[in-house]
């Protein structure tokens, strides 16, 4: 009793006190909020009103980590984008617009009448990059060119075996067997002698893979006993030199002050490595990058809503296809392969995956190639026929694995979705499908080592020569090169290809490639799906980028205005 009496006045007092306190705090907090608000306004003003002083440069949002910094040892487009046209040069370049070869490091070249000897005359004013770890003492000369190609063809070259996975592109075209000798005639002249004539030889030298390395740098590395650095600490002759690479984050290049060609205007080039395409889009919108790679078709409407963005696109030299492992039953049965081709609806695929930005593929060669047969016909969608063919082959309860790439490629913006659509189509004819996927760098490795059924993949041309679509992808010689995913070998087909390489007459070659396409159409080692557009998203303030139908991206002689990245 006493206690409660004592307590209650205290309680009331305390309640009243708390109430006052509350008022006081509330006043204080309003004041606090007000000052915080002012502070935020000031900050916003600092950030928003003031024009950002960005350092000069160009940021390109790329889609993945390069595997190496030397295009000789890879085939992946991501690596080519990051290296070939930025750090290096080739002897000659392939001008896609004029459809002709143009001088690069070589000023002129002569071909002997029998098509077996090629002589190149080199530029005399080309200097390799001067970097903290390498100071060139001489200009580029014939030694460097001989070294760059000797490394590929000569297994005794000390740098031949530092390429752990070999030289996949050169292996797929049988380069080592083609070359008889590479000799230095004098300091600025080089002679290539071939074992047999090859109409695609110049085109192969113009690919992004055939870059020229510094022999002096290689010798320095050999002395330092670090030969494996040749492919990662890159030294080249290109417009930009490599400064820093941080995995998963960025690659930074600086302008090469000694560049022999037209100096690029941007002093700095940064590849912002952003694997997810939605993130690339948002970075482009807020201005963290000025150009962004490989947009998904579904993102184009979003990009169009923003006035400051534009879409760059042109028909690509590529084909997306579904390769069947022809060495594994039941895919060694031609009827099963044909049934699979009839069972899939390419139109709905085009609509869902490419949002109708692509063209249905009728064969391997895309329409942008000069050898494209105008009368090409495609296998129609006919699930009934597919079922009949399967029944005649005696295949029941078929279950197949489809390997689908985890990343967007220029020929296929969404391989996962492609696989899901194929799964649905095949289910309709009674085939059960498992979709298999790994991260990109693991994907190709695992695929190469496994006994897969089929894979959704594709090919982007490296040069304008039609042979580039046939020999690396389907010839007998390429079965073990990890480009012929169908593991298909056909003597008649190979015969046609080598005939087409022996002659230089374009019309004659076109006829031979048409015949080759017909064999592919009948034998169905792979099922062509689509010819995609090459696309880039960019801010309008960003400079024009030359988007070629084939090969890697080039920022040569491109610039970004100072403000391109900063404005909101």
Partner 1 sequence: MGRYLLRRLNLFIATSLVLIAILFFATRLFPAELNYALSGIALPTSEQQLQIQHDFALDKSTLRQFFAYSAERLSGNFGISVTSQRPVSGELLGVLPASFELAFVAGLLALIVGVPLGVISALSRSKSLQKLIMAVTLTGYSIPVFWLGLLLSLWFGVQLGWLPISGQINLLYQIPKVTGFMLLDTLLFDGTYKWAAFIDALQHIIMPACTLAVLPFTVVVRITRTAMISVMNQTYIRAAEARGLSNTSIILKHALPNALIPLLKHLGLMLGPFASYAIVVEVIFSWPGIGAWLVSGIYQRDYTVIQGGIFAVALVIIFFSILIEVLYTAANPVSRKDMYGTN
User: By C-beta, is 253 or 488 nearer to partner 1?
Assistant: 253
User: By C-beta, is 56 or 143 nearer to partner 1?
Assistant: 56
Please identify, among the stretches 42-50, 210-218, 341-349, 509-517, the one whose residues bind partner 1 according to the rule CB under 8 A.
42-50
| Shortest distance, position 246 Cβ to partner 1, whole Å | 7
User: By C-beta, is 18 or 185 nearer to partner 1?
Assistant: 18
User: By C-beta, is 110 or 276 nearer to partner 1?
Assistant: 276
User: By C-beta, is 13 or 41 nearer to partner 1?
Assistant: 13
Residues forming a β-bridge with 58: 269
* 407-429 exposure pattern, b = at least 16 Cβ within 10 A, e = fewer: bbbbbbbbbbbbbbbbbebbeeb
Give the Å distances, CA to CA, from 266 to 253, 262, 292, 556.
10, 12, 17, 10
Q: How far apart are CA 374 and CA 277, in angstroms?
A: 35
How many residues lie near partner 1 (CB under 8 A)?
A: 55
Q: Which residues contact 113 (CB under 8 A, 6 or more apart)?
A: none
| Shortest distance, position 325 Cβ to partner 1, whole Å | 23
Instruction: Work out whether 17 is an interface residue with partner 1 (CB under 8 A).
Output: yes
Considering only residues 423 through 442, tell me which ones interact with partner 1, judged by CB under 8 A: 438-439, 441-442
Among 363, 521, 528, 565, binds partner 1 (CB under 8 A): 565
Considering only residues 56 through 75, tell me which ones interact with partner 1, judged by CB under 8 A: 56-57, 59, 65
| Shortest distance, position 341 Cβ to partner 1, whole Å | 33
Structure tokens at 461: 């041309």
Considering only residues 236 through 275, tell me which ones interact with partner 1, judged by CB under 8 A: 246-250, 252, 268, 270, 272, 274
The residue among 120, 102, 101, 113 whose CA lies nearest residue 197 is 113
| Shortest distance, position 552 Cβ to partner 1, whole Å | 20
| Shortest distance, position 245 Cβ to partner 1, whole Å | 9
- CA angle, residues 77, 78, 82, in degrees to nearest 5: 110
Q: How far apart are CA 148 and CA 169, in angstroms?
A: 15
Q: How far apart are CA 185 and CA 247, in angstroms?
A: 42
User: By C-beta, is 16 or 185 nearer to partner 1?
Assistant: 16
| Shortest distance, position 487 Cβ to partner 1, whole Å | 24
* 318-324 and 526-531 beta bridge pairing: antiparallel
Instruction: Work out whether 405 is an interface residue with partner 1 (CB under 8 A).
Output: no
* 32-61 exposure pattern, b = at least 16 Cβ within 10 A, e = fewer: eeeeeeeeeeeeeeeeeeeeeebeebbbbb
User: By C-beta, is 222 or 302 nearer to partner 1?
Assistant: 302
Q: How far apart are CA 353 and CA 72, in angstroms?
A: 32
**Binding characters for partner 1, 272-311, by CB under 8 A (x = yes):** x-x-x--x-xxx-xxxxx------------x---x-----
* 432-436 and 399-404 beta bridge pairing: parallel
Considering only residues 151 through 180, tell me which ones interact with partner 1, judged by CB under 8 A: 164
Instruction: Work out whether 21 is an interface residue with partner 1 (CB under 8 A).
Output: yes
Euclidean distance between the first and the last CA atom of the chain, given in angstroms as a whole number: 71
Q: Which residues contact 20 (CB under 8 A, 6 or more apart)?
A: none
User: By C-beta, is 21 or 41 nearer to partner 1?
Assistant: 21
| Shortest distance, position 26 Cβ to partner 1, whole Å | 7
Residues forming a β-bridge with 251: 245, 271
H helices then E strands: how many in the chain? 17, 19
For residue 521, the 8-state DSSP code is H
User: By C-beta, is 302 or 476 nearer to partner 1?
Assistant: 302
| Shortest distance, position 405 Cβ to partner 1, whole Å | 13
Would you say how long the chain is, in residues?
Answer: 568
Q: Determine contact, residues 550/351, Cβ cutoff 8 Å.
A: no
User: By C-beta, is 142 or 242 nearer to partner 1?
Assistant: 242
Give the Å distances, CA to CA, from 46 to 117, 140, 347.
66, 50, 52
| Shortest distance, position 256 Cβ to partner 1, whole Å | 17
Please identify, among the stretches 43-51, 179-187, 339-347, 370-378, the one whose residues bind partner 1 according to the rule CB under 8 A.
43-51
User: By C-beta, is 57 or 239 nearer to partner 1?
Assistant: 57
CA torsion, points 505, 506, 507, 512, in degrees to nearest 10? 90
Give the Å distances, CA to CA, from 511 to 197, 348, 366, 500.
19, 32, 16, 9
Among 2, 3, 49, 55, binds partner 1 (CB under 8 A): 55
Helix, strand, coil shares, percent, the chain, to 5: 40, 20, 40
Among 13, 39, 391, 424, binds partner 1 (CB under 8 A): 13
| Shortest distance, position 168 Cβ to partner 1, whole Å | 16
Q: Which residues contact 521 (CB under 8 A, 6 or more apart)?
A: 363, 379
User: By C-beta, is 109 or 438 nearer to partner 1?
Assistant: 438
User: By C-beta, is 88 or 440 nearer to partner 1?
Assistant: 440
- Chain residues that interact with partner 1, rule: CB under 8 A: 10, 13-14, 17-22, 24-26, 29, 32, 43, 46-47, 52-57, 59, 65, 164, 246-250, 252, 268, 270, 272, 274, 276, 279, 281-283, 285-289, 302, 306, 438-439, 441-442, 565-566, 568
């Amino acid at each position: 009793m006493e206690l409660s009496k004592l307590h209650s006045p205290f309680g009331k007092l305390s309640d009243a006190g708390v109430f006052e306190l509350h008022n006081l705090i509330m006043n204080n907090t309003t004041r606090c909020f007000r000052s915080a608000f002012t502070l935020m306004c000031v900050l916003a003003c600092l950030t928003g009103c003031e024009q950002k002083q960005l350092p000069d440069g160009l940021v390109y949002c790329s889609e993945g980590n390069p595997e190496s910094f030397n295009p000789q040892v890879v085939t992946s487009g991501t690596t080519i984008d990051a290296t070939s046209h930025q750090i290096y040069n080739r002897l000659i370049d392939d001008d896609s617009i004029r459809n002709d070869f143009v001088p690069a490091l070589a000023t002129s070249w002569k071909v002997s009448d029998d098509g077996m000897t090629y002589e190149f005359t080199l530029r005399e004013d080309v200097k390799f990059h001067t970097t903290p770890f390498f100071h060139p003492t001489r200009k580029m000369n014939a030694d460097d060119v001989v070294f760059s190609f000797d490394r590929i063809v000569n297994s005794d070259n000390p740098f031949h075996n530092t390429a752990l996975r070999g030289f996949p592109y050169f292996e797929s075209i049988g380069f080592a067997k083609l070359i008889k000798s590479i000799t230095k005639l004098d300091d600025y002249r080089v002679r290539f002698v071939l074992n047999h004539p090859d109409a695609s030889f110049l085109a192969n030298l113009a690919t992004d893979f055939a870059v020229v390395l510094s022999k002096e740098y290689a010798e320095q590395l050999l002395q330092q006993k670090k030969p494996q650095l040749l492919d990662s600490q890159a030294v080249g002759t290109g417009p930009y030199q490599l400064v820093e690479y941080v995995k998963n984050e960025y690659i930074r290049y600086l302008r090469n002050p000694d560049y022999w060609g037209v100096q690029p205007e941007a002093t700095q080039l940064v590849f912002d490595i952003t694997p997810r395409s939605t993130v690339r889009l948002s970075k482009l919108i807020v201005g963290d990058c000025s150009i962004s790679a490989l947009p998904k078709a579904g993102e184009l409407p979003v990009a169009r809503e923003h006035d400051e963005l534009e879409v760059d696109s042109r028909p690509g030299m590529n084909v997306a296809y579904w390769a069947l492992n022809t060495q594994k039953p039941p895919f060694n049965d031609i009827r099963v392969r044909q049934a699979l081709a009839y069972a899939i609806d390419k139109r709905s695929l085009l609509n869902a995956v490419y949002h109708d930005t692509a063209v249905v593929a009728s064969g391997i060669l895309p329409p942008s190639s000069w050898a494209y047969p105008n009368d090409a016909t495609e296998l129609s969608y006919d699930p009934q026929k597919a079922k009949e063919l399967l029944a005649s082959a005696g295949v029941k309860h078929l279950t197949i694995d489809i390997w689908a790439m985890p990343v967007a490629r220029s020929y296929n913006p969404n391989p996962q979705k492609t696989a899901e659509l194929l799964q649905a189509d095949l289910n309709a004819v009674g085939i059960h499908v498992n979709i298999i996927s790994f991260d990109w760098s693991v994907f190709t490795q695992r695929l190469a080592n496994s006994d897969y059924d089929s894979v959704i993949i594709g090919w982007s041309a490296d040069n304008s020569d039609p042979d580039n679509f046939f020999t690396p992808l389907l010839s007998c010689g390429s079965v073990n090169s990890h480009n012929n995913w169908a593991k298909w070998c056909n003597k008649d087909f190979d015969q046609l290809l080598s005939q087409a390489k022996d002659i230089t007459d374009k019309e004659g070659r076109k006829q031979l490639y048409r015949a080759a396409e017909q064999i592919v159409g009948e034998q169905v080692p792979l099922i062509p799906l689509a010819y995609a557009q090459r696309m880039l998203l960019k801010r309008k303030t960003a400079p024009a980028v030359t988007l070629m139908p084939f090969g890697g991206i080039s920022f040569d002689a491109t610039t970004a205005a100072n403000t391109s990245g900063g404005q909101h």
